[in-house]
Amino acid sequence: MLYLYAITDQPQLPAAPSSGLLGQPLRLIEAAGLWAVVSPIVPKEVQTNAEQVWAHEAVVEALLARGGVLPVRFGTILEHEANVEALLHKRAAVLRSDLERLAGCVELGLRALLLDLPAPPEPEPQAAPTSGREYMLRRFAAEQALQARRRQAEAAANQLHTALADYALASVQRQPTGERMLLSAAYLVRRDAINRFREAVAALDATNAQMQLLCTGPWPPYHFVSGDEERHS
Amino acid sequence: MHELSPAERELTLLDLLDRILDKGVIIIGDVTISVANVDLVYLGLKVLLTSVDNAEKLRGNREQGNREQGNREQL
């Protein structure tokens, strides 16, 4: 069984790390002028934990530092070397065009978080509502104010995304998770434009008092490889 | 990426999981043995993340950094 990390146009493995998940040695499988980076694996030993996920990522990042790389989703295992070769042959055209399109590029992640949400309404001892109706009205007003503030912040976050997309070759918005998250996005940026993008984020962060911007990366271009539409979800 | 506060490291891990478990080249076929629980774990994480208040955690950690260090010394 072979665990698959990435597909690359590099005919050599990076110097480090020399091993992948569970300390297994990395090796290359070549077909159709493409290289798959794999290591032996016992499927039931694969666990979705931080250690193994970072081990996968470390291999992909080492490849990214040297040249073109298409990261493969965590947990992909093929039975035989022949299966890997067949996969490279079958997808060669798309893989090659992706490697060409993504050459010299990295992905940057961005989250915008709403700051200073008003505290939930608390019962005020000195001004207790005189009726259930009054209490409900107060609650309603507080909720309305919160929603209005959130809508305004969401609009600002969307404007911010549009502004940052100008600094990127491509961009993807993810579904934000958590009630404070206004924006979760990924941007494809040329390696030599990383600093320019980060400076743009810092400038926007400084002018947006209502939200906090968090930029992560550089990541391998996970969000920008082709074939996501083939996923049956 | 290596001089990060614990909260920022946590956020980086969340960002990694959003990528490594959900994106990248996806290979589905007879010859592929995807680890069956990856999708389930990711789904579970998304539910977890929805309940995690990252902003507060990040701000809290920045402000409480010194206090936490104090607490640790007492332990």
Q: Is A116 left (phi over 0), alpha (psi -120 to 50) or beta?
A: left
Residues A49 and A153 reside in one and the same domain: no
Indicate yes or no: CB of B25 within 8 angstroms of CB of A111.
no
Bigger pLDDT: A188 vs B43: A188
- Average confidence score pLDDT of chain B: 64
Residues A113 and A51 reside in one and the same domain: no
Which is nearest to A98 in space by CA: B24, B70, B43?
B24
Number of Cα atoms under 13 Å in the Cβ half of residue B29: 13
Residues A155 and A205 reside in one and the same domain: yes
Q: What is the pLDDT along chain A (233 residues), one digit of tens a residue?
A: 999 999 999 999 998 999 999 999 999 999 999 999 999 999 889 988 889 999 999 999 999 998 899 999 999 999 999 999 999 999 999 999 999 999 999 999 999 988 875 555 565 555 777 888 888 898 899 889 888 888 888 899 999 999 999 999 999 999 888 778 899 999 999 999 999 999 999 999 999 888 889 999 999 999 999 974 444 43
The answer to whether ipTM exceeds 0.90 is no
pLDDT mean over B18-44: 77
Distance CA A190, CA A177 (A): 27
Phi, psi (degrees; rounded to nearest 5) at A36: -105, 135
Confidence at B36, pLDDT banded by 50, 70, 90: low
Residues A141 and A175 reside in one and the same domain: yes
Indicate yes or no: CB of A43 within 8 angstroms of CB of B33.
yes
Q: What's the alpha-carbon Rg for chain A, to the nearest Å?
A: 23
List CB contacts (< 8 A) between A77 and chain B.
32-35
CA distance B3 to chain A (A): 13
> pLDDT tens-digit profile of B7-25?
677 778 888 988 998 899 9
For residue B2, give the chain A residue with the closest CA. Answer: A217
Compare CB distances from B19 to A48, A219, A227 and report the shortest one's residue: A219
Indicate yes or no: CB of A227 within 8 angstroms of CB of B25.
yes
For residue A51, give the chain B residue with the closest CA. Answer: B13
The CATH number given to whatever domain includes residue A216 is: 3.30.70
Phi, psi (degrees; rounded to nearest 5) at A116: 55, 50
| Contact call for residues A177 and A83 (beta carbons, < 8 A) | no
Name the residue range of residue A134's domain.
106-224
| Strands A105-114 and A2-8, sheet pairing | unpaired
Residue A31 lies in a domain: yes
CA angle A132, A134, A135 (to 5 degrees): 65
Confidence at B71, pLDDT banded by 50, 70, 90: very low
Reported in sequence order, the residue ranges of A73-227 that DSSP labels E, i.e. its strands, are 77-78, 105-114, 170-174, 181-190, 211-219
Residues A209 and A113 reside in one and the same domain: yes
What's the N-to-C CA distance of chain A in angstroms?
26
Q: Is A176 exposed, middle or buried (0-12, 13-18, 19+ CB in 10 A)?
A: buried
* Total domain count, chain A: 2
Residues A68 and A137 reside in one and the same domain: no
Helix (H, G, I), strand (E, B) or coil at A116: coil
Residues A62 and A126 reside in one and the same domain: no
Instruction: State residue B74's pLDDT score.
Output: 34
Residues A151 and A212 reside in one and the same domain: yes
Site of tokens 């990060």? B4
CA distance A152 to chain B (A): 18
Residue A159 lies in a domain: yes
Instruction: State residue A150's pLDDT score.
Output: 84
Residues A95 and A50 reside in one and the same domain: yes
Q: Among B3, B14, B23, B49, which would you mutate to test the A interface (most chain A Cβ atoms within 10 Å of its Cβ)? A: B23
Residues A212 and A115 reside in one and the same domain: yes
Site of tokens 């250690």? A51
Percent of chain B with pLDDT over 70: 41
| Contact call for residues A3 and A46 (beta carbons, < 8 A) | yes
Residues A136 and A219 reside in one and the same domain: yes
Query: Is pLDDT at B73 greater than 50 in this prediction?
Result: no
Distance CA A67, CA A65 (A): 6
Residues A220 and A112 reside in one and the same domain: yes
Instruction: State residue B43's pLDDT score.
Output: 73
Residue A233 lies in a domain: no
Indicate yes or no: CB of A225 within 8 angstroms of CB of B23.
yes
Indicate yes or no: CB of B21 within 8 angstroms of CB of A53.
yes
